Amino acid sequence: MQGILYEEASIWQFLFVTCLLGGWAAWMTGKASAQTWRSFFQLFLYMLGLGIGIRFIHHALFDG
């Protein structure tokens, strides 16, 4: 399974970090931005930071 899903050792790691943690954080970020009427540019910056954060978790915790 190595190398099929973004070079992770298992599908469970992908599902937990990317889908569960990243998906939940993206949902909450989008919801908060919509409720406070933020601009699309600010949402883009938030999502860029979220992507960097998820990538850091993959790298720091799982040697991704």
Residue percentage of the chain with pLDDT more than 70: 84
The overall pTM is greater than 0.85: no
pLDDT level of residue 59 (50, 70, 90 thresholds): confident
DSSP 4-28: TSTT-S-HHHHIIIIIIIIHHHHHH
Distance of alpha carbon 57 from alpha carbon 21, whole angstroms: 10
Q: What is the pLDDT of residues 30-48, one digit of tens each?
A: 999 999 998 999 999 999 9
Assigned token pair, 34: 């919509």
Assigned token pair, 60: 């720091």
